[in-house]
Amino acid sequence: MESTSGSRISARTLLSLAGELRDDSAAYEALAERIRLLIVDGRIPVGTRLPSERELAVQSGRSRTTIVAAYQSLRDSGHVLSRQGSGSRVTLPRLGRQDYRPSGEGENFGVDFARAVPPPVEGLAEIIADASSSMPLALAAPGFDLLGTLSLRSAIADRYAARGLPTTADQIIVTMGAQHAISLTAHTLLTRSDVVLVESPTYPHAYEAMRRAGARLIATPVTTGGWEIDHLVETIERMRPALAYLIPDFHNPTGASMRPEDRVRVTEAARAAGTILVVDETTADLSIDRPWDDGPFARHARGASPFSGSGVVTVGSLSKAAWAGLRIGWIRADAALIRRFVQARPAGDLGTPQIEQLLAERIVRALPELLPRRREQMRRHRDALHEALSLHLPEWQVPLPDGGLSMWVHLAQSASSAMTSLSEARGLALVAGPKFSIDGSLERFLRVPFTAPIADLEAGTRMLADAWAQLSARDVRSMADTRLPEMV
């Protein structure tokens, strides 16, 4: 598929991203809504020039009046600017407008199924209260640092060691969450046009960070059943990507976990190809009832090379295990790589607040007591959502993941974007399936997180069912989901 990140999007690409549209008197508003969604979740970048109204009318087989009205609606909502001579360009409305939200922000909605952010783990308030007397200690120093305090890095290293991966404090850099860790990794290790392998679907902000760092992305499929491991290994062998980004435990969004024997194959293929594996373990602590635990992925890495060390860079975070409001994450890698991250970091930020690190150290040390509570909480949420979806949307294929934070639901139609628009109109924030792919595929899938309060999981499911009923009544033609093409 043609890339949409250039300065112009063709009518054909725009229509394929927008998906199937109904054919009635309000067709213009449906088209405008769909384009708005693509703009808001970043699939059509700001500044992109849209096709001319005439070109879009010809290509879509719709009347010029419909397209003119759709573009007018986009201008009215502040998503498009049209200027004589330079056509119509994508823009973003002013912040604070009622109908505008940055992608993934659910605050303005009645129910938020856009973010997979769990509530604070039970027991966190007590740890904060207990730590408050030591907070003034942070005032003695500048209060932030590039590497992370020795006491927090030691606590993180001890936890890796307890989970079967000997680690020293000089193998850890503390970051402001896992997203920061991914972005720092991408910007430090990648050079423009490097090939990066990601899963499809994957966590979208990770591939966005790789793209920003200049990467050319290729993908390997993952389903709720797991990885096509031969495809993954052969792609590493054939394409020799500079970096491969994987979420091997309770993968976001499918919930799948990679089998231990496959981890060995992937690590060996990456080592032979000179590919650095960036292993995101943000969700690794979120087992609900997975019957096995293989410990940290990097246990499988052997030996060392001068540039990539053991070849595995592990990303971790307290966001899912404890609370995302802390903004504490880390990278575990060979000490020489950690020094490169420290050296590169000031171009992006000047360090992690030490007040948060003081708190984080106590939380990391308390994880063995906190995690069972998190698991029990997520079990209740998962089961409530599964029951509600099975009851109200029996035609959907709803998996029962054994951990993680979301369900990767298979819809009976290519209707994920349409469902997102219709749900938003009802006050339910969603992220459409194609946002989780690098090429706009996956229209038949929807990620439904089970992190919201249980009453919201039930209310949101009723909104989904209501939107689905409206959609089914519109007789959306089912389109075959195209097999994922490799994009190099």
Q: Does 452 bind ligand PLP (CB under 6 A)?
A: no
CB atoms within 10 A of CB 400: 14
Closest CB to ligand PLP among 60 and 282?
Answer: 282
Closest CB to ligand PLP among 143 and 325?
Answer: 325
> CB 317 → ligand PLP: shortest distance, Å?
3
Interface residue with ligand PLP, options 33, 112, 249, 280 (CB under 6 A): 280
> CB 392 → ligand PLP: shortest distance, Å?
26
- Residue whose tokens read 């949101």: 460
> CB 272 → ligand PLP: shortest distance, Å?
26
Q: Does 282 bind ligand PLP (CB under 6 A)?
A: yes
Q: Does 118 bind ligand PLP (CB under 6 A)?
A: no
> CB 229 → ligand PLP: shortest distance, Å?
20
- Residue whose tokens read 């992690």: 352
Structure token digits, residue 387: 């029951």
String of DSSP letters for 355-418: HHHHHHHHHHHHHHHHHHHHHHHHHHHHHHHHHHHHHH-TTSB----SBSSEEEEEPSSS-HHH
Q: Does 312 bind ligand PLP (CB under 6 A)?
A: no
Site string for ligand PLP, 181-210 (x = CB under 6 A): ----------------------x-------
CA 265, CA 363: separation in Å to the nearest integer? 34
> CB 343 → ligand PLP: shortest distance, Å?
22
Q: Whats the size of the chain, residue-wise?
A: 488
Closest CB to ligand PLP among 359 and 422?
Answer: 359
CA distances for 339 relative to 186, 275, 334, 342, angstroms: 15, 20, 9, 5
Q: What is the DSSP letter of 303?
A: S
Q: Does 319 bind ligand PLP (CB under 6 A)?
A: yes
Report the chain's C-alpha Rg in angstroms. Answer: 23
Q: Does 401 bind ligand PLP (CB under 6 A)?
A: no
CB 108 within 8 A of CB 101: yes
- What is the footprint of ligand PLP within residues 224-253 (CB under 6 A)? 247, 252
φ and ψ at residue 147, rounded to 5 degrees: -95, -35
Q: Does 324 bind ligand PLP (CB under 6 A)?
A: yes
CB 163 within 8 A of CB 183: no
Closest CB to ligand PLP among 19 and 248?
Answer: 248
Closest CB to ligand PLP among 39 and 116?
Answer: 116
Closest CB to ligand PLP among 73 and 317?
Answer: 317
Closest CB to ligand PLP among 19 and 401?
Answer: 401
Interface residue with ligand PLP, options 183, 283, 352, 437 (CB under 6 A): 283
Per-position b or e across 2-39, b if 16+ CB within 10 A of its CB: eebeeeebbbebbbbbbbbbbeeeebbebbbbbbbbbb
> CB 328 → ligand PLP: shortest distance, Å?
8
CB atoms within 10 A of CB 162: 12
Range in contact with ligand PLP (rule: CB under 6 A) among 88-96, 316-324, 393-401, 478-486: 316-324
> CB 282 → ligand PLP: shortest distance, Å?
4
Residue type, 241: P
- What is the footprint of ligand PLP within residues 340-399 (CB under 6 A)? none
Closest CB to ligand PLP among 88 and 282?
Answer: 282
Q: What is the DSSP letter of 166?
A: -
Per-position b or e across 176-199, b if 16+ CB within 10 A of its CB: bbbbbbbbbbbbbbbeeebbbbbb
- What is the footprint of ligand PLP within residues 157-186 (CB under 6 A)? 177-179
Structure token digits, residue 160: 């890796």
Closest CB to ligand PLP among 377 and 482?
Answer: 377
CA distances for 404 relative to 140, 208, 462, angstroms: 39, 22, 23
Interface residue with ligand PLP, options 74, 116, 279, 298 (CB under 6 A): 116
Q: Does 451 bind ligand PLP (CB under 6 A)?
A: no
Q: Which helix (H) or strand (E) holds 173?
A: strand 172-175
Closest CB to ligand PLP among 60 and 451?
Answer: 451
> CB 283 → ligand PLP: shortest distance, Å?
5
Q: Does 112 bind ligand PLP (CB under 6 A)?
A: no
For residue 442, which of 471, 468, 419 has the smallest C-alpha distance? 419
Closest CB to ligand PLP among 30 and 222?
Answer: 222
Structure token digits, residue 209: 């960070």
List residues bridging with 219 in a β-sheet: 198
Closest CB to ligand PLP among 4 and 282?
Answer: 282
> CB 255 → ligand PLP: shortest distance, Å?
11
- Residue whose tokens read 């407008």: 97
Q: Does 254 bind ligand PLP (CB under 6 A)?
A: no
Interface positions with ligand PLP (CB under 6 A): 116, 177-179, 203, 247, 252, 280, 282-283, 317, 319, 324, 329
